[in-house]
A and B are shown apart, each in its own frame.
Chain A
Amino acid sequence: MVTNRVTPARNLGRPLTHGDGSHGARVIFDGIEKMYQQVRAVDGVDLDIAPGEFVTLLGPSGSGKTTSLMMLAGFEIPTGGEIYVDDQPIAAVPPYRRNIGMVFQSYALFPHMTVGENIAFPLKLRKFSKADAKRQTAEVLELVKLPGYEQRYPRQLSGGQQQRIAVARALVFNPRVLLMDEPLGALDKQLRESLQLEIKQLHDQLGVTIIYVTHDQQEALVMSDRIAVMNNGRIEQIGSPTELYDQPQTRFVASFLGESNFLDGRLSGSDAQGSVVTIEGVGAVRVPGQSGSSNSSSSSQGNQVTIAVRPEKIVFSDDAPMVDGQMNRLDGMVVQVIFVGEMRRYDVHLANGSSLIVKRHNRSGMRQYERGESVHVAWHLADTRLV
């Protein structure tokens, strides 16, 4: 493999390279499987990541997201399928020949080396001269906003600083793919949020392909070009954050990415505009026609179906003027009100006992609802999904 000696700093001189593929590599998972004894950790993952794209593997623990990342890094060998980086099959290439940067949740900074030695380590292995290594170390430290930290030891740095050094070390040898395994998992919320933006900014500057693993849906939504939601070793759905949030195709995606209300009902009719779902003891709900998602079995009349509505899409009827035919309306009773700062969460029980969560932003002059009050809830037809 040819050692790429373009420095990050020289990349900085170029216009934004985001997504144009001039630096990042294309990564393809082709039917990747990983079995441990009898357990399928990864069960046929197909993924095509464009050069310079930021893709997040999102899922609960045990969903196969970290195992998939480890196979791309080379620390796990797949039991089936192939991984391509820029059309080169790499599943059998040892990690040290892959030229892929990796950032670990535990940072994995070598404790017996200074920050400078840590960052220069990949350069030393690539036989850079001392002067070159020193200059590039200084440049990459500048990039992660910790200039002059060469002489410190990792243990003398805060968690956030250690993570920046880990990013610097993974970038200094100018890999075309950067892997990040829950890199912000050990940090507190505020620091996590500011580092999310910094990593995103770095990604825009460098144009490197980033594959990011997290179980934090908020993080995935903020950072990614595309999110692959994983469950039980498979990709449940892949798409842009807005696609996944607004058009979840499965109940798992609807509940894992953001919050969703689910109502079980029976399909009682359908036409070109969509279908009608009858919820026993509550009423009928219209679902607009949607492309691709509802599978054929659930679209025939009389079948059990589940509809999903996001809590923030639901309004109380006083909040917005009702336009019949555009809104689904149900009656219920407020059983709990929780103040969470910028909004209130209402737990509304419907006549059949199922509960709906409603989120309302707090604005002055807004009518507040109390426990025990009867309310009309409503949401737009377009915000109703069959899952």
Chain B
Amino acid sequence: MATVARTGTTDEQRRRFARLERGVQLRYLLLLTPAAIFLVVFYGYPVAAMLARSFNDPTWGLENFRRLTVVRSHEDWFLFSMPMNAYIRVFMLTLRIALIVTLITLLLGYPVAYTLASVGASRANLLMIFVLVPFWTSILVRSYAWMVLLGREGTINRLLIRSGLRDEPLQLLNTRFAVYVGMVHILLPFMILPLYSVMRGIDRNYLRAAESLGGRPFDVFRHIFFPLSLPGISAGSLVVFILSLGFYITPALIGGPRDVMISMMIFQQVNMPNWGLAAALALILLVIAIVIYLLFNKILGVERIFGGSRT
């Protein structure tokens, strides 16, 4: 029988193992490269160049931001006296619309996701189609569809008048109400999908255990299901809120003249053309989105919900 001379691990061998290990890492790096180059060239550079304009167009400095902070008046917000100008007003309105849309989608979406997660898999897949079909239809098409429905001569007003409930058509289109309806409709799937995915992952045995320990259905929901669904609420609300902040087409088409959101104002400035101011507004919007993301993560982050320190 042949014997193998045992020499222990040589340095040469260690180097070879290390090289093999590095080779594996390098392969993953190579897989990421094409997408990374694409993003840097066609996304990273234009965004950076655009945002840079807020500091250098038309002249170097903070002039663009100074224009945004010129105080025209003061308004009372709760107990604070808030300095106010047209830009601040649009930002506040945008945040408010985004917040209300997020809350409405959460209230409408939570029971839907709960049902989808509770019924059997085949029925859930069928119901999921009703959530996804609108999701696959273009936002523009859907916004125009709301114009058809909500207009003075639109479907809803015709039905109201024909049924004798109203004599005069209601002003539905070009109102704040229309903005909420349109945005909620478009953003609902973005709330339902993360909620559903988190709820599906909740082990049914937790609910059974809670019930066997004496929990009535509402106790089980309040103490077990709801806390375990918080990561879904957090993820869904974050997506909907941040998408709402940048909404353009829907409020532009079906909102009223006073429902100007920040992206519409950016568009106006670009058309002037006033690139520097538009870039400054865009930069502030980006900062707000990032800050809100960090806050969400801090307050509703997964780590907090599952308590224990991970080792």
B305:A121 contact, CB within 8 angstroms? no
Cα A94 to Cα B211 with chains together (Å):
9
Q: Are A121 and B213 in contact (CB under 8 A)?
A: yes
Q: Which of B69-77, B138-146, B216-224 contacts A (4 or more CB under 8 A)?
A: B216-224
Query: For the complex, what is the distance from the CA of A69 to the CA of B10, rounded to whole Å?
Result: 60
User: Which of A94, A95, A114, A179 has the most B CB atoms < 10 Å from its CB?
Assistant: A95
Q: Any chain A CB within 8 A of the CB of B111? A: no
A106 to B204, CA, bound (A): 11
Cα A114 to Cα B309 in complex, Å, equals 12
Query: Is B213 touching A73 in the complex (CB atoms < 8 A)?
Result: no
Total A-B contacts with CB atoms under 8 angstroms apart: 79
B310 to A, closest residue via Cβ: A155
* Interface membership of B227, Cβ < 8 A: yes
**CB <8 Å contact, A106 and B203:** yes
The answer, among B205, B223, B227, for a CB contact under 8 Å with A108, is B205
Task: Give CA–CA (A106, B202) in the complex, Å.
Answer: 13
**Residues on B with beta carbons closer than 8 Å to the beta carbon of A94:** 211
- Please state if B205 and A104 are interface contacts (CB–CB under 8 Å): yes
Given A110-B224, A112-B227, does the pair A102, B209 have CB atoms closer than 8 Å?
yes
Do A111 and B213 have beta carbons less than 8 Å apart? no
Q: Are B307 and A114 in contact (CB under 8 A)?
A: yes
Question: With A and B bound together, what is the CA distance between A121 and B213 in angstroms?
Answer: 8
Q: Chain A residues near B214 (CB, 8 Å)? A: 96, 99, 122, 125-126, 173
B210 an interface residue at 8 Å Cβ cutoff?
yes
Q: How large is the interface on A (under 10, 10 to 19, 20 to 34, 35 or more residues)?
A: 20 to 34
User: Do residues B205 and A74 form an inter-chain contact, with CB atoms below 8 A?
Assistant: no
Give complex CA distance A255, B266 in Å: 79
Q: A169 on the interface (CB 8 Å rule)?
A: yes
* B301 in the interface (beta carbon within 8 A): no
Q: Do A153 and B307 form a contact, CB below 8 Å, given A108-B203, A110-B206, A110-B224?
A: yes
B residues within 8 A CB of A111? 228, 306-307
Docked pose: A111 CA to B201 CA in angstroms: 13
Main secondary structure of the interface of B (DSSP, over half): helix
A112 contacts B307, CB within 8 Å? yes
Q: Are A73 and B307 in contact (CB under 8 A)?
A: no
Q: Are B212 and A102 neighbours in the complex by a CB distance under 8 Å?
A: yes
A-chain residues with CB within 8 Å of residue B307 when the two chains form the complex:
111-114, 153
- Cα of A99 to Cα of B305 in the assembled complex, Å: 29
A191 to chain B, nearest CB (A): 21
Q: Which of B145-186 contact A (CB under 8 A)?
A: none
**Chain B residues positioned under 8 Å from A152 (CB to CB):** 308
Task: Tell me if B16 is interfacial: C-beta within 8 Å of chain A.
Answer: no
Q: Is B208 an interface residue (CB 8 A)?
A: yes
For residue B83, CB closer than 8 A to chain A, the reply is no
A95 in contact with B205 given A110-B224, A126-B214, A153-B307 (CB within 8 Å): no
Give the distance to chain B from A33, nearest Cβ to Cβ, in Å.
Answer: 22
Alpha-carbon separation in the docked complex, A91 to B206 (Å): 22
In contact, A95 and B208 (Cβ under 8 angstroms):
yes
* Contact status B216-A96, CB under 8 Å: yes
Ordered by A's residue number, 12 sampled pairs between the chains whose C-beta atoms are within 8 Å are A74-B211, A96-B216, A98-B212, A101-B212, A102-B212, A106-B205, A108-B209, A111-B307, A112-B227, A122-B214, A125-B215, A170-B212
**Further 5 A-B residue pairs, CB within 8 A, beyond A108-B206, A153-B306:** A108-B203, A108-B208, A110-B224, A112-B307, A153-B308
- B residues whose Cβ falls under 8 Å from a Cβ of A: 203, 205-206, 208-216, 219, 223-224, 227-228, 305-311
A residues in contact (CB < 8 Å) with B: 73-75, 94-96, 98-102, 104, 106, 108, 110-114, 121-122, 125-126, 152-156, 169-170, 173, 179
In order of increasing CB-CB distance, the 9 nearest A-B pairs are A153-B308, A122-B213, A108-B209, A108-B205, A102-B212, A125-B214, A95-B211, A104-B205, A112-B227
